[in-house]
Structure 1
Amino acid sequence: AMEVFDQDDDGIAILLEEQVGAEQLDDVREAIAVCPAAAIRLVDQ
Structure 2
Amino acid sequence: ILPNLLALLLLSGKVREILQSYFRRQAWLPDAEPHERWIEKQEAGRP
| TM-score of the two chains, using structure 2 as the length reference | 0.34
Larger of the two Rg values belongs to structure: 2
| TM-score of the two chains, using structure 1 as the length reference | 0.35
Give the structure with the larger strand fraction. 1
Give the structure with the larger helix fraction. 2
